[in-house]
């Protein structure tokens, strides 16, 4: 057996491992980006050289794009940190292949039955999430409910995270949306999801940004809980901002932070 034949399986194994690691890098950027190269290396246990190799390949393929972190407070003497964020092409690589069929089905429904039927369909799609979590949330401490919802969304493929909002309340971020392309045409999907969050958490919420509208992350602000509102009770959803309207100072600040960091 020649040396070439002996090493062929090893080379194939190496290529497979390389692709697997690159996919892990891309998914980490999707879920936690924008993120720095050192942070990626720390999370994945990769050397700086390995991280750079995978980043260069992903950049060449158009899967990710570089960004510069905005300095906060006084500027240091060093260069601003370079962040890496997922692109639309990169996001599409993780999305389901049923967008075309789903979009056609909803267009057919809207044409034959009407827009209200699309809204009812959207609510039926999130009713399962509401049914699973509405009663469970009664046993969850109030300060942990957004985190529990984020975990449930992540299990459904939305790569969600929860964090405290700097100006009060909490933020629920979804770094991936399997139906983003369809939701861009049918906003009823996003509206129904937002209503479901309010029902599950038992407090008003407001959608600040969506992947479907071109933002990097779907970001929902969860209002601080007042009184003894229970999950599953009728929760008034915070009014949606009208297109072109000027948001409040609080939501403007939260929105800006969300679009930059996804947190």
Summarised one tens digit per residue, pLDDT across range 35-77 is 999 999 999 999 999 999 999 999 998 999 998 876 555 555 5
pLDDT in tens, 101-127: 788 889 999 999 999 999 999 999 899
Please state the pTM of the whole predicted model. Answer: 0.57
Q: Which residues of 39-78 are buried (b: 16+ CB within 10 A; e: fewer)?
A: bbbeeeebeeebbebbbebbeeeebbbebeeeeeeeeeee
Cβ neighbours of residue 149 closer than 8 Å, sequence gap 6 or more? 133, 137, 160, 162, 172, 197, 200, 201
Checking if the pLDDT of 255 tops 80, the result is no
């Amino acid at each position: 057996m020649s040396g070439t034949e002996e090493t062929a399986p090893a080379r194939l194994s190496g290529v497979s491992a390389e692709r697997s690691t690159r996919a892990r890098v891309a998914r980490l950027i999707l879920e936690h980006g924008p993120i720095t190269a050192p942070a990626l290396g720390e999370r994945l246990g990769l050397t700086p050289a390995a991280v750079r190799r995978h980043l260069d390949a992903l950049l060449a393929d158009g899967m990710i794009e570089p960004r510069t972190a905005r300095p906060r407070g006084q500027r240091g003497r060093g260069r601003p940190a370079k962040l890496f964020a997922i692109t639309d092409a990169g996001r599409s690589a993780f999305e389901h292949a049923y967008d075309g069929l789903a979009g056609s089905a909803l267009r057919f429904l809207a044409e034959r039955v009407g827009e209200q039927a699309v809204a009812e369909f959207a609510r039926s799609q999130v009713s399962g999430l509401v049914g699973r979590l509405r009663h469970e949330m009664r046993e969850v401490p109030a300060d942990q409910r957004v985190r529990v919802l984020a975990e449930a969304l992540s299990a459904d493929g939305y790569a969600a995270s929860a964090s405290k909002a700097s100006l009060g309340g909490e933020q629920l971020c979804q770094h991936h949306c399997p139906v983003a392309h369809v939701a861009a045409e049918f906003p009823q999907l996003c509206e129904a999801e937002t209503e479901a969050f309010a029902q599950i958490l038992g407090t008003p919420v407001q959608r600040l940004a969506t992947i479907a509208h071109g933002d990097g992350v779907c970001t929902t602000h969860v209002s601080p809980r007042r009184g003894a509102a229970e999950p599953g009770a009728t929760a008034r959803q915070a009014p949606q901002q009208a297109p072109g309207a000027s948001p409040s100072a609080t939501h403007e600040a939260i929105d800006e932070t969300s679009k930059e960091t996804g947190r």
